Amino acid sequence: MKSNITMRDIANKLGVSSVTVSKALNDKEGVSEELKQKIKALAGEMGYRYNSAAKSIKDGLSKNIGVLIPERFTGMSHSFYLRVYQQISLLLDQYGYFGILNILSNEDEELLNFPRVYSENKVDGIIVLGQISKKYIETVQNMDLPKVFLDFYDEHADIDSIVTDNFYGAYEMTNYLIRNGHRRIAYVGNIYSTSSIQDRYLGYYKSLLEHGMQLDHSLILSDRDDKGKFIDIALPDPLPTAFVCNCDQIAYLLVDKLKLNGYSIPEDCSVVGFDNDIYATLTSPQLTTVEVDIEQMAKSAVKFIMDKIENPHRKFGRVMVQGNIIYRQSARQIDAEDREISST
Amino acid sequence: MKSNITMRDIANKLGVSSVTVSKALNDKEGVSEELKQKIKALAGEMGYRYNSAAKSIKDGLSKNIGVLIPERFTGMSHSFYLRVYQQISLLLDQYGYFGILNILSNEDEELLNFPRVYSENKVDGIIVLGQISKKYIETVQNMDLPKVFLDFYDEHADIDSIVTDNFYGAYEMTNYLIRNGHRRIAYVGNIYSTSSIQDRYLGYYKSLLEHGMQLDHSLILSDRDDKGKFIDIALPDPLPTAFVCNCDQIAYLLVDKLKLNGYSIPEDCSVVGFDNDIYATLTSPQLTTVEVDIEQMAKSAVKFIMDKIENPHRKFGRVMVQGNIIYRQSARQIDAEDREISST
DNA sequence: CTGAAAGCGCTTACAG
DNA sequence: CTGAAAGCGCTTACAG
């Protein structure tokens, strides 16, 4: 169909063999410098382009990495995953690789079908971006290919995974609030919903423990149902002095609700988020939050997969990527008097 | 390196030739139904996977499409392009294709380097997503491959392009405001900045013309400098009764500013946006805006590129994708009295 | 219905 | 330094 220039074409024009052309173009030993330059020049003129399929078939490497994102993380509010994918794609470039996005349909996940990117042998490794079902984790493990889980993990699987340090992020954030005088602190999130929400909750809890504070179950506020659909958040009475939200979007919604009820942030209560996504700066006042280090996460994922392509037996285990607290205006120090009143 | 199962392996186990295996697995003529089933069953058992590189080398098709996004459209607020890419990727799947994201670095664009996806022969066609420099358009045209421009066009280039119908979108929107009694209507946007902003401006102007209204240059309000950085929007005095903003994000910022100045939306003035992106629903009140039909744009792009792979001489020209006005709360009808006062 | 032969574009030993 | 031979995994004529 396409009339592509091949090495043979170049060889014929110059009256040499295609082996010599191959050596010249790949800067291999065994061609005189002069001939090499002549070959390269002609290749340029003729618009020669490398046939990567032919190379693939020889060394068995496609030079592509599949990025598998479950369909349900694919909506407008999930642009987080797309940004991670973009970052991955940028980093792969440095290794001479490309990223192929393969959105895993709910159906394929349900039926445990291999992703097409795998069954068609299009990639040398797969990064699974976003939590998949337990069953499908098994399917992934059956794939004979290096793979890495990104942004989630599974307790049983011994697959290498990279997650944000949800636990310590929430822990540090809660510490910060306590240092600033808060004693009545709520956690907002359905703690049975995802591992991220649960781990952030546990970090919050650890901070309370370390400060000798009681866990008050009436201050654990669910934000979504089992399907992940947001629900109305019930405000405790009396109001906590601070809310640790499991994500910025929920913090944004909570701030809205608090304002509607006549409260000012951070005067009447502090609200902190997690993720540092677009909602963090759209909330007014802007949110104090934990920034997820997308770049570092992508960097680790790419590094791991590259290492595993070279050495399939390489193991990395579960790796946490540290986040950073971004201090903005949604949290404030409260003085002793406030504390007394609110800690009743 | 990898110990992959090949057709020959299956053939050997069954004591047939690899030609027969190939025919069976591809549902081609020339194998008895019985043998075919046996081969397929064994292939399944052995975990056979198609080697797409070997197929590529035969028919010259990589079954990949490159999506080229200029680096500068790559930031957090440009998730629009990523959503388009995602949609493209989903649609390609239906054709048995995959999408490879190739972010075009500023450097490569400057130096007029071919995208790697092209020089390494990784794709059968390229979708350029987002405006590239004039010079680079030439580079793209020199690529011996089907290509489509998405979300921008160039007057000289005879490359097929798909754009949102900016002109008619803004035209219809302005008509709507005029029907609702508005006579003093501002346009917000630097009309020299991008073709989209300019075309939307012209649509606004056409609507004024058709209604016998004067173009008032003091009501053309710039929103960004030449680098695209947002600047403070100067509010005209007296205030217009409506603002047609070139995008939702600017409408969001404008609403903020108007509120700070003590105005209520839509009571004191109406504000409409364009894009129907995340800012449309984050603004309070939510924005009446023009929804860009991402799905249709992606669909056309994919359709065109597929058609051109089959027949390289196929031409489509510049194709407009219609948007839809989404009616929300940021615009209202004004009565005759308001009109009198404000049209002085 | 079944398979031997040739070839896609390239690279890897190996020989000269 | 240069190249003939063989092979990567598959498919396409073609012959039996």
* pLDDT given at position B344: 41
Instruction: Please write down the HEC assignment for all residues of B199-261.
Output: HHHHHHHHHHHHCCCCCCHHHEECCECCCCCECCCCCCCCCCCEEEECCHHHHHHHHHHHHHC
Q: If interface means Cβ-Cβ distance under 8 Å, which residues of chain A face chain B?
A: 1-2, 4, 47, 49-54, 56-57, 59-64, 74, 76-77, 79, 82-83, 85-86, 89-90, 93, 98-103, 116-122, 144, 278, 282
Query: What average pLDDT does this structure show over B240-255?
Result: 96
* pLDDT given at position B3: 54
> Model confidence at A343, in pLDDT bands (50, 70, 90)?
very low
- A257-286 pLDDT, tens digit per residue, is 999 999 999 999 999 999 998 899 989 899
CA–CA min distance A79, chain B (Å) = 7
Verify if strand D has an atom below 7 Å from the CB of B7. Answer: yes
A48's torsion region: left (phi>0), alpha (psi -120 to 50) or beta?
beta
> Model confidence at A197, in pLDDT bands (50, 70, 90)?
very high
In angstroms, the CA B86 to CA B281 distance is 22
> Model confidence at A1, in pLDDT bands (50, 70, 90)?
very low
Say whether A1 and B89 touch across the interface (CB within 8 A): no
Half-sphere exposure of B1 (CA within 13 A, CB side): 17
Query: What average pLDDT does this structure show over A241-256?
Result: 96
Nearest CA in chain A to B51: A121
Name the residue among B321, B276, B278 with its Cα closest to residue B302. Answer: B321
Q: Residue B86 corresponds to which tokens in the numbers above?
A: 């995602």
Say whether B60 and A98 touch across the interface (CB within 8 A): no
Contacts of A127 (CB under 8 A, 6+ apart): A65, A66, A67, A68, A88, A147, A148, A150, A301, A302, A305
Looking up tokens 């108007």 gives B258
The answer to which of A11-15, A135-139, A324-328, B132-136 has the lowest mean pLDDT is A11-15
Q: Residue A237 corresponds to which tokens in the numbers above?
A: 């009475």
Distance B54 CA to D3 C1' (A): 26
Residue A147, φ and ψ in degrees, nearest 5: -150, 155
- A126-148 pLDDT, tens digit per residue, is 999 998 998 999 999 999 999 99
Nucleotides of D under 7 A from a protein CB: 1-5, 7-14
Burial category of B314 from C-beta neighbours within 10 Å (exposed 0-12, middle 13-18, buried 19 and up): middle
Q: Report the residue of A56, A57, A101, A120 to disrupt the B interface, i.e. the one with the largest count of B CBs within 10 Å.
A: A101
Contacts of A217 (CB under 8 A, 6+ apart): none
Domain ranges across chain A: 7-50, 64-159+294-322, 166-288+327-342
Query: What average pLDDT does this structure show over B100-127?
Result: 95
Contact predicate B181/B213, CB 8 Å:
no
- B315-332 pLDDT, tens digit per residue, is 999 999 999 999 999 999
Residue, of B193 and A173, whose pLDDT is higher: A173
User: pLDDT at residue B32 above 80?
Assistant: yes
Residue, of B343 and B319, whose pLDDT is higher: B319
Query: What average pLDDT does this structure show over B47-60?
Result: 88
User: pLDDT at residue B338 above 70?
Assistant: no
Residue, of A336 and B47, whose pLDDT is higher: B47
Query: What average pLDDT does this structure show over B220-248?
Result: 94
Nearest CA in chain B to A277: B76
| Helix, coil or strand: residue A256 | helix
In angstroms, the CA A21 to CA A13 distance is 11
User: pLDDT at residue B48 above 60?
Assistant: yes
Torsion sign over Cα A251, A256, A258, A264: positive
User: pLDDT at residue B70 above 50?
Assistant: yes
* pLDDT given at position B343: 44
Contact predicate A2/A53, CB 8 Å:
no
User: pLDDT at residue A320 above 90?
Assistant: yes
Q: Residue A209 corresponds to which tokens in the numbers above?
A: 């423990």
Asked if the B64-159+294-323 domain carries CATH number 2.60.40.10, the reply is no
Distance A10 CA to D6 C1' (A): 22
Say whether B121 and A51 touch across the interface (CB within 8 A): yes
Percent of all residues in chain A with a pLDDT value above 70, rounded to a whole number: 96
In angstroms, the CA A54 to CA A61 distance is 10
Report chain A's mean pLDDT, rounded to a whole number. Answer: 91
Instruction: Please write down the HEC assignment for all residues of B29-67.
Output: CCCCHHHHHHHHHHHHHHCCCCCHHHHHHHHCCCCEEEE
- A47-79 pLDDT, tens digit per residue, is 899 888 998 888 889 999 999 999 988 876 677
DSSP string computed for A261-303: TT--TTTT-EEE-SB--HHHHHSSSPPBEEEP-HHHHHHHHHH
Residue, of B279 and A338, whose pLDDT is higher: B279
Q: If interface means Cβ-Cβ distance under 8 Å, which residues of chain B face chain A?
A: 1-2, 4, 47, 49-54, 56-57, 59-64, 74, 76-77, 79, 82-83, 85-86, 89-90, 93, 98-103, 116-122, 144, 278, 282
Report chain B's mean pLDDT, rounded to a whole number. Answer: 91
Residue B288, φ and ψ in degrees, nearest 5: -75, 130
Instruction: Give Cα B70 distance to the centre of its chain.
Output: 13
Say whether A144 and B98 touch across the interface (CB within 8 A): no
* pLDDT given at position A29: 82
The answer to which of A7-16, A68-77, A297-306, B125-134 has the lowest mean pLDDT is A68-77
Residue, of B78 and A160, whose pLDDT is higher: A160
| Helix, coil or strand: residue A195 | helix
- A14-35 pLDDT, tens digit per residue, is 888 889 999 999 888 888 888 8
Say whether A2 and B144 touch across the interface (CB within 8 A): yes
Element (H, E) at B19: helix B18-25
Say which CATH topology domain A64-159+294-322 has: Rossmann fold (3.40.50)
In angstroms, the CA A134 to CA A154 distance is 8
User: pLDDT at residue A195 above 70?
Assistant: yes
In angstroms, the CA B23 to CA B38 distance is 13
Say whether A86 and B82 touch across the interface (CB within 8 A): yes
Percent of all residues in chain A with a pLDDT value above 90, rounded to a whole number: 68
CATH for the stretch B166-288+327-342: 3.40.50.2300
In angstroms, the CA B185 to CA B179 distance is 12
Asked if the B7-50 domain carries CATH number 1.10.260, the reply is yes
Strand partners, A125: A65
Q: Residue B89 corresponds to which tokens in the numbers above?
A: 């990727």
Angle between helices B195-210 and B166-179 (to 10 degrees): 40
Strand partners, A243: A186, A271
CA angle centred on B286, ends B284 and B291, rounded to 5°: 145
Nearest CA in chain A to B49: A119
Query: What average pLDDT does this structure show over B84-91?
Result: 95
Query: What average pLDDT does this structure show over A302-312?
Result: 94
Identical fold for domains A7-50 and A166-288+327-342, yes or no, is no
> Model confidence at B187, in pLDDT bands (50, 70, 90)?
very high
User: pLDDT at residue B340 above 70?
Assistant: no
Say whether B101 and A101 touch across the interface (CB within 8 A): yes
